[in-house]
Amino acid sequence: MKKTILQVVLLLALGCMKKLEHGTEADALTARALLNYALPVDGCDWSLQIAEQIYVPSPASLPKVKAVGEFRHGIVQDSVTVRYRFTGRNVELQCGWGHKSVQAEIEVLEVRK
């Protein structure tokens, strides 16, 4: 009986450890990126271009991205270093003239110039 209880407790503890690992920054990536915002001039909404692929920051991480962007003539186009992870979702990226494209969403953990 004691052995069975010990095994159950051990399995529960291991299960909780795996849940804690999921959602940590263990799967975070770091890369140079081009931060873009040009919607007012028929470009696209906030996005990050990493290695010729466009990604959309998650709504929760958008304030971090906006804080780094330096507006020039109503647009942002800055080279930044970004630490991020994929959310596993695809979202619409709004561009000028009502055009929308579907891009992968990322959670931005840190962004700096």
Residue 4 lies in a domain: no
pLDDT confidence bin for 26, thresholds 50/70/90 = confident
Give the separation between CA 102 and CA 94, rounded to whole angstroms: 9
Number of structural domains in the chain: 1
Q: Does residue 5 fall inside a structural domain?
A: no
Residue 3 in domain: no
Report whether pLDDT(93) > 90: yes
Identify the CATH number of the domain in which residue 32 sits.
Answer: 2.40.50
State how far the Cα of 97 lies from the Cα of 77, in Å rounded to an integer: 20
Per-residue pLDDT of 1-14, as tens digits, reads 555 554 544 455 54
Establish if 1 belongs to a structural domain: no
pLDDT tens track for 67-87: 999 999 999 999 999 999 999
Tell me if 47 sits within 8 A of 84, measured CB to CB.
no
